[in-house]
């Protein structure tokens, strides 16, 4: 059986001017055979050869084969870049000529063009390959980690009352509770966590306390030093582009937002539409 959106082992049945027709075996309905375009066929390929090809729908919605490898196959989870917003959803670059659709109903929050988001690919009821950011049901209970282990994870959902839900190793479901969230966080943030508890259902509860005592103050200290050198003001805030933040501070936007969130909670800075300002220097000139 041929699986849409996955790498299939297919046999070359015949050649035509436009390419080669493939299928799992000979003797079936020729209308079910799948075209591999001529531009993808090496001169050494012959009838009877078995090829590993991805089967998907092209820009004209025809079932077609390609020897190119996508960034993700159906059923897999990973990061894809959002390249276009349309009336029906967002299109994500998955490494092929035709981008894959992330429907609005399967997205979480506001997506920015050029940014990568954690998604899983699936085939919808209309037999289309699509992406979803709603990955919770695809994650499983822990079978690898114990308390106090350091793990790597990606925030895939932020709940105002509960905290941040995290995909650990793109595999395990975990929660960073609200009282463990220091600073500002965004969906898609990749971070290190400490396992603070393993629940009875196998899901992980995470902490950032070790991280906050070691890494966060470094970013906060860098911002405070830069503020003092710049007369108490920096033209940066939550809406500043990542390139500008890196130019001023050589840190990521996510790290910057967490750091200024911590400084703000400590009442060390003021944040407004023009930028950030030291509280003890309210009359600093804004350049």
Number of Cβ within a 10 Å radius of residue 42: 8
- Asked if 55 and 32 sit in the same domain, the reply is yes
- Please give the residue range of the domain that contains residue 206: 140-210
Q: What is the pLDDT of residues 185-217, one digit of tens each?
A: 888 888 889 999 999 898 999 988 654 444 446
Residue 203 in any domain: the answer is: yes
Q: Of 136, 154, 185, at which residue does a domain stop? A: 136
- pLDDT band, very low/low/confident/very high, at 19 (cuts 50, 70, 90): very high
- pLDDT band, very low/low/confident/very high, at 286 (cuts 50, 70, 90): very low
CATH number, domain with residue 220: 1.10.10.10
CATH number, domain with residue 125: 2.40.50.140
Residue 183 in any domain: the answer is: yes
- Asked if 230 and 275 sit in the same domain, the reply is yes
- Asked if 146 and 206 sit in the same domain, the reply is yes
Residue 287 in any domain: the answer is: no
User: What is residue 188's predicted lDDT score, i.e. its pLDDT?
Assistant: 85
Residues 249, 236: Cα–Cα separation, whole Å = 10
Residue 110 in any domain: the answer is: yes
- Asked if 97 and 43 sit in the same domain, the reply is no
Residue 2 in any domain: the answer is: no
Residues 69, 72: Cα–Cα separation, whole Å = 8
User: Given phi > 0 = left and psi -120 to 50 = alpha, else beta, which region is 229?
Assistant: alpha
- Residue with more model confidence, 102 or 266: 102
DSSP 22-60: EESSSSS-GGG-EEEEGGG--TT--TT-EEEEEEEE-TT
Number of Cβ within a 10 Å radius of residue 137: 9
- Asked if 118 and 166 sit in the same domain, the reply is no
pTM: predicted TM-score of the whole model, two decimal places: 0.67
- Asked if 41 and 61 sit in the same domain, the reply is yes
Number of Cβ within a 10 Å radius of residue 14: 12
Residue 72 in any domain: the answer is: no
- Asked if 118 and 161 sit in the same domain, the reply is no
Residues 82, 92: Cα–Cα separation, whole Å = 4
User: What is residue 281's predicted lDDT score, i.e. its pLDDT?
Assistant: 43
Per-chain mean pLDDT for the chain:
88
User: What is residue 91's predicted lDDT score, i.e. its pLDDT?
Assistant: 97
- pLDDT band, very low/low/confident/very high, at 279 (cuts 50, 70, 90): confident
Please give the structure tokens belonging to residue 74.
Answer: 């159906």
Residue 199 in any domain: the answer is: yes
Q: What is the pLDDT of residues 247-261, one digit of tens each?
A: 999 988 888 988 898
Residue 83 in any domain: the answer is: yes
Q: What is the pLDDT of residues 52-64, one digit of tens each?
A: 999 999 888 889 9
Q: Of 136, 171, 186, at which residue does a domain stop? A: 136
For the chain, the domain total comes to 4
């Amino acid at each position: 059986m041929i699986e849409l959106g996955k790498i299939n082992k297919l046999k070359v049945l015949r050649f035509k001017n436009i390419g080669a027709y493939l299928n799992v075996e000979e003797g079936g309905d020729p209308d079910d055979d799948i075209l591999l375009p001529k531009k993808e066929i090496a001169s050494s390929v012959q009838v009877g050869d078995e090829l590993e090809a991805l089967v998907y729908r092209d820009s004209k919605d025809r079932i077609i084969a390609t020897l190119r490898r996508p960034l993700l196959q159906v059923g897999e989870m990973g990061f894809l870049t959002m390249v276009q917003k349309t009336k029906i959803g967002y299109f994500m670059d998955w490494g092929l000529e035709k981008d894959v659709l992330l429907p609005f109903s399967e997205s979480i929050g506001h997506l920015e063009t050029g940014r990568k988001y954690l998604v899983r690919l699936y085939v919808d009821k209309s037999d289309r390959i699509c992406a979803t950011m709603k990955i919770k049901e695809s994650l499983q209970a822990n079978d690898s980690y114990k308390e106090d282990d350091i793990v790597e994870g990606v925030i895939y959902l932020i709940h105002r009352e509960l905290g941040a839900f995290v995909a650990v190793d793109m595999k395990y479901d975990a929660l960073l509770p609200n009282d463990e969230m220091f600073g500002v966080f965004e969906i898609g943030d990749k971070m290190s966590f400490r396992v603070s508890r393993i629940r009875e259902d196998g899901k992980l509860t995470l902490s950032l306390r070790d991280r906050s005592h070691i890494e966060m103050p470094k970013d906060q200290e860098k911002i405070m030093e830069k503020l003092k050198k710049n007369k108490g003001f920096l033209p940066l805030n939550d809406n500043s582009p990542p390139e500008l933040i890196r130019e001023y501070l050589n840190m990521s936007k996510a790290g910057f937002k967490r750091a200024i969130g911590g400084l703000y909670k400590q009442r060390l800075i003021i944040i407004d539409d023009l930028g950030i300002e030291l509280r003890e220097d309210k009359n600093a000139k804004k350049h």
